[in-house]
Structures are given as structure tokens and as C-alpha cells.
Structure 1
Amino acid sequence: MAAYVVRRLLSMLVVMCLVAVVVFIVARVVPGDPAAVMLGTSATPEDVAALRARLGLDQPLLTQFGLFALQIVTGDLGESIFLNKPVLAAIAERSELTLLLATMAVMVSVAVGVPVGVISAVRRGTAVDQAVIAGAMLAASLPSFWIGLTLIRWFAVNLGWFPVSGYGEPGAGLLERMHHLVLPALALGIPNSAIITRFTRSSMLDVLTEDYVRTARAKGLPAHKVILKHGLRNAMIPILTVVGLTLAVLIGGAIVTETVFGLPGAGNLIVSAVLRRDYPVIQGALLIISGLYVLINLVIDLLYAVVDPRIRY
């Protein structure tokens, strides 16, 4: 196990080096001069040139990349051009909301997707199965922003059960924060629950035809024990994989939902950074999201051995 973890960590290092190169190039391919954006339309070319020199944007690209790589090695992602604060501090201020939102959305997806997928597999070919398949296709095709706006209209405006937008007062507790995130989590979790439903159904259909499941039924075990202990447990590998990938995608893909609900999360910060051509924030956010994605994949791989003791690395 230890040797496997070391190999994976080394491969993660290689992947992050490639990600750093891609992030640096993509940030500078985006049209627009951050110095000109900061100074506005009334700035003179001399003022823009002076600001570019102060920010180091007048250096050759190789020099800029060398400085960027040195910052990454030393754990310093630079300073935001517009916020005038370290990039790590700016992202850390917004990360709590995004991580909590992604976690709640995954919980919604799993709470809906796994039971519905199991029921669909157990009742294969029936009207229930067909209804689940149709519902999953419908949920997957609905954009999260439309779901969010619909939820706001009915549960926030008409019924008044939840706030329309925001993240609570500055000193709000965790329960109040979570109350503000219920509707955004539903808007994100419902479309992704369709993916988990389809994977759960497919994995369960494969397992329920195995000999050990038929043997368990022949021994007279209760149906719920056959389904949960012998069926679902052995079908958890692909389900666990899709749940982990869903969490990684939600962490980096909550931008639209945060915009719809007016949430000051990391997604909102990235959008503002792109519009303002704030290179350090763009680069730092993309690196952190990529690192989380790779780390989640590693954790999922290690959990395989916990779910299925037959797996050895």
C-alpha cells in the first residue's frame, strides 16, 4: 500500500506540473490587458506601460513562467491584482462556501441517486424502472440555473421557506449557512443525481445476475439482505467512482449556481478574476481546483480496498 501511495503521489506531481504549464498559457491566451482594465478607458498608454512594468507583465513569457513556477514551489501563488491581497488568502475566504455547497449537493445526489437506482435495478423492466429511466434522463437534461430559478420562485418567493440569495450575516452559524445553501444544493444535486442513478442501476444489474446472489436467494435470505449486503456492497466500486468524480466536478463547477443565488463563493471569485484579467487569481484557483480533483481521485482509489477487501495494491 505504501509503495502504491508513493507512486501515485509522484504521478500527481507530474500531473500538477503539466497543469501549471497549461494554466499559465491559458491565462495569457485570454484577450485583454489587465493593466488597461485596472486603469480604465481614461488611462494613457504611459500609465498602462508603467503598471505593466510594476506587475511584471512586460517581461518575456519564459521569465514570467519562471517566476510563476518559483512561486508555486515556495507555496506563494502571488498577489491579486485587484484585491491587493495574497491569492491563497482570497481563495481561502471564499472556499468554505464552495466546499460546503459541493458537499451538500453530493449528499443530495447520493441520497436520491443510490436508492432510486437500486429500486430501478430490482424492478427491472417494470413501469417503475421505466419511470426511473425517464426521470433520470429528464433531470440530467435540466440546466442547474433553471432548476435554481424555479426553486427560488416556489420555495423562496411564494412559500418563504428559504432565503432568495446570500450566505447569511457575517456572524451567522453553520446551521444558518446551511439553510441558505439548501436551494443551491438542490439545484446542483438534482441533475447530478441522475448520473448516480444510472450508474447505480447499471452496476446493480450486473451484480444481481451473479451466482453468489442467486445462492443467497436460494438459501432463503430476506430480500433486503440479498439486495443490500450481497448486491449493493459488491456494486459500490463504480458507484464510489462516480460519486467522487461528481464531488470533484461540483467543486469546480458551482460557478453558475453561485451566480444565480448571489453566493460569494470561489466560483464567483473566478468569474470576477476572468472578467478583470486578474492572472494570479485565475492561475491560483485553477491550480487548487486541479489539485483537489487529483487528490479526490487518489482518495477514491484508496477507498476501493475498504469497500472490497479483495482489492490489494
Structure 2
Amino acid sequence: MGMVVVTFLVLTIAFVLVRLAPGDPAALMLGPDATPQDVMDLRASLGLDQPIFVQYLTFVANAAQGDLGRSLFFDNSVTSVLAARAEPTVFLSLFSLIFALVIATPIGIYAAYRRGSTLDQSAVTTAMLAASVPSFLTGLIFQRYLATELGWFPASGYGGPDAGFLDRMWHLVLPSITLGIVNSALILRFTRASMLDILSEDYVRTARAKGMSERRVVLRHALKNAGIPIITVVGLTFALLVAGAVVTERVFNLPGLGSLVVNAVLRRDYPVIQGTLIVVAILYVFINLLTDLLYLVIDKRVRY
């Protein structure tokens, strides 16, 4: 029920926001040489001349049936347009999350275990620095040194028209590192904070008193019980990556959802803007639901 309510609210907000923006999509499509009559005819064919309330009811009814409308500029269904642009964004978000986890999780665990040490302070300082540097600046630095000067990675793009899957994925490595470094800061800090709370619990001291090895105490007892807040922030991070990879996609010239939305806003392509907002919101809700279900795997007590 909660997912239905959230989806309905997203439909309403998306419909209202795109129509508050200045500009007429019909006039933009026809160009400056179009006559007022041409603009009126196109508005009528697109249904933009109808009352706002009628447009809203039509929009909600079609969206409930899975019809997100037809793009004004691509002359294709919004679903097809989004599907064609989804691959770079999804894989970029997934690879960035994996890279962030590989960096943040072990460092966060060890920093909590060695609280107050030089490594702990260095890790916290580095995390704050990584979170403070804009992703576009990190991406530009990596482009210059790792791609242009050293030639280790492609500087931009998503491969040619005939590029294979592995070639396309190779073009995502550098953007994924850029996004992964930025988002690893939050995961590292949450991992460290959660582990610090658990390592001070009585049952951890009891496990040590029984003669268990430090590795078993940290990984089996402490990390398992600190897993719920870590899983929460990982789920939220992945959802934010999908929704917020716009800047990185623009820097590396990736044909993903971020670039699509930016162009759709400039063109006043209402159906594409609305469809993207809806899909991202539903994905966000689904990721949160999946995160809640993972709680059952991490901690059996959640079932009660």
C-alpha cells in the first residue's frame, strides 16, 4: 500500500513540476520560424491544449497501465527511449557501488577495530575529503592523468556503434571509479560508526573472554550485528547512484538516463521527464523494499 501511495505522489509531483517550467514544447519543436497556427495545431495533436486537470487524469490513467506516453522529440514511446538509455546508468551505478564497497567496508571495519590509531584518523580524514570534492572535478582529474596522459582507460564515450559488451563495460571503469570514490565516504563512515557501537557491547567482550580469535569476534559477532545499518546505507547509496549520476555521465559523455533527462528538460519533452522521474522513483522504492527484505537474512530476529 505504501508503494502505491508513493508512486501516486510521484506521478502528481512529476506532472506539476514539468509544467511549472517556462517554455512551450510545441514552439521548441517547430523552431523560431513556425507560425502561431502551426504551434496551435501541434499543441492540439499532442493534447497540450486540453485543461490541466484533463491532462493530469489522462496521464495518471495511462501510467497506471504502463503507458508513459510518447516522446515529443524522439517520436517513440517513452518506455523504449528509457530502455535504450538504461544500460549505461544501471551498470555505472552497479560498478560504482561495488567499487565503493571494496574500498569502504574493509577500511571501515579495520578503522573501528583500531580506533584512535593513525589509520583510523587517516581513514576518517580521507573519507571527509572524498565526500567534499565534487564528482565532476574528480572525473576531470582522472580523465587528464589516467586516460589522456597514461592511456589506461578510455577518456569518454560508450564505445562505437559496433562495440561489444566488454568494450562498453571498459568505458565505464573510469566513471565507476570516480563515483565509487565519492560514495565510498558515506559507507566507510557508517561502517566504522556501526562497528564502534557493536565492539563496545557486552557480548563482544564475552566472546573475547571465551578465547575466540579476534578475526572471528570481529567478522562473525560484530560485523553480523552491525550489518543492518550498513545494508541500509548501501541500499540508499545504490538508489542515489541511479538517480544522481547525471554529472558523471555528462563529464564522461555517457548516453545514460542522466544525459537523457538534461536534454529532455532543455527541450521541454514532458513525457520523457515524467517517465524518467516515475521509473527512478519506483526503482528507489523497490531498492528500499529489497533492503528491508535483506534484514531477514542478516538478522533473524527481525522476523519477530
TM-score band, normalised by the shorter chain? over 0.9
Q: What amino acid maps onto 1:256 in structure 2?
A: V
- Name the residue aligned to 1:208: 199
TM-score between the two structures when normalised by the length of structure 2: 0.98
When the two structures are aligned, how many residues end up with a matched partner? 304
- Name the residue aligned to 2:285: 294
- Name the residue aligned to 1:19: 10
- Name the residue aligned to 1:143: 134
Residue deviations 1:170-227, cap 9 Å, x none?
3333322221101100111111100000000000000001111111111221111111
* Deviation beyond 6 Å, 4+ runs, structure 1: none
Query: Matched residues in 1 for 2:237 and 2:157: separation?
Result: 24
Gaps in structure 2 of 5+ consecutive residues: none
2:119 pairs, out of 120, 128, 141, with 128
Query: Matched residues in 1 for 2:149 and 2:169: separation?
Result: 20
2:80 pairs, out of 81, 84, 89, with 89
Is the aligned partner of 1:106 residue 2:97? yes
Query: Matched residues in 2 for 1:198 and 1:310: separation?
Result: 25
Q: What amino acid maps onto 2:193 in structure 1?
A: S
Query: Matched residues in 1 for 2:164 and 2:12: separation?
Result: 40
Is the aligned partner of 1:37 residue 2:28? yes
TM-score between the two structures when normalised by the length of structure 1: 0.95
2:254 pairs, out of 243, 258, 263, with 263
SS of residue in 1 equivalent to 2:171:
helix
Gaps in structure 1 of 5+ consecutive residues: 1-9
Query: Matched residues in 1 for 2:22 and 2:43: separation?
Result: 15
Q: Describe how 1:222-233 pairs up with structure 2 within 5 A.
A: 222-233=213-224
Deviation at 1:169?
A: 2.6
Query: Matched residues in 2 for 1:74 and 1:289: separation?
Result: 17
Q: Describe how 1:244-263 pairs up with structure 2 within 5 A.
A: 244-263=235-254
Query: Matched residues in 1 for 2:160 and 2:218: separation?
Result: 46
1:273 pairs, out of 264, 274, 277, with 264
- Name the residue aligned to 2:303: 312
**What's the Cα RMSD here?**
0.9
Residue deviations 1:64-106, cap 9 Å, x none?
0011011112211110000000000000001011100000000
Query: Matched residues in 2 for 1:267 and 1:87: separation?
Result: 15
- Name the residue aligned to 1:220: 211
Q: What amino acid maps onto 1:78 in structure 2?
A: G
Is the aligned partner of 1:158 residue 2:152? no
Residue deviations 1:20-48, cap 9 Å, x none?
01110001011111011111112221111
Q: What amino acid maps onto 1:232 in structure 2?
A: L
- Name the residue aligned to 1:115: 106
SS of residue in 1 equivalent to 2:73:
coil
Is the aligned partner of 1:61 residue 2:71? no
- Name the residue aligned to 1:80: 71
Deviation at 1:311?
A: 1.0
Query: Matched residues in 2 for 1:159 and 1:217: separation?
Result: 49
Q: What amino acid maps onto 2:138 in structure 1?
A: I
Query: Matched residues in 1 for 2:165 and 2:230: separation?
Result: 29
Change beyond 3 A, Cα 1:301–1:38: same
- Name the residue aligned to 1:49: 40
- Name the residue aligned to 2:163: 172
Identity across the alignment (%): 56
2:176 pairs, out of 185, 189, 196, with 185
Is the aligned partner of 1:198 residue 2:189? yes
Query: Matched residues in 2 for 1:83 and 1:175: separation?
Result: 28
SS of residue in 1 equivalent to 2:303:
coil
Query: Matched residues in 2 for 1:87 and 1:192: separation?
Result: 30
